[in-house]
Amino acid sequence: MEDKLIRVASVNGAIEGEILRALLASEGIESALSQEAAGSTIGLGVGALGVVEVMVLEPQAEAARRLIEAYRGGELPSPDEDNSSQS
């Protein structure tokens, strides 16, 4: 039986969606973005047609939600903080 895709976040615009997709990928979580066809064709980033859903496979949904919540809460180190600890 195949795992279902689960929505873990809804964001305004493809750019924010791509940021979350890259964040999830950095932790080994594959994701997909879904947007209304009209919104992606016209390039909308606001309103109902600008909403992008971030989708992951069901077994990874909880880990993805925690990671997104940590990102939105400012709990993840910034790239500058990562680089300064390696010096």
Closest CA to 64 of 54, 76, 73: 54
pLDDT by residue (tens digit) across 16-65? 999 999 999 999 999 999 875 454 555 555 555 668 899 999 999 999 99
- Residue 45 DSSP symbol: -
Kindly report the backbone phi and psi dihedral angles of residue 63, in degrees, each rounded to the nearest multiple of 5, phi listed first: -65, -40
* Cβ neighbourhood burial of 33 (10 Å; 0-12, 13-18, 19+): middle
Instruction: Give residue 45's domain range.
Output: 5-78
Residue 75, Cβ density class (10 Å: 0-12 exposed, 13-18 middle, ≥19 buried): exposed
CATH number of the domain encompassing residue 49? 3.30.70.1530
Residue 69 in domain: yes
Q: pLDDT-based confidence at 7, cuts 50/70/90?
A: very high
| Predicted TM-score (pTM) of this structure | 0.75
Q: Phi/psi at 10 (nearest 5 deg)?
A: -125, 130
Name the domain count of the chain: 1
Is residue 86 domain-resident?
no
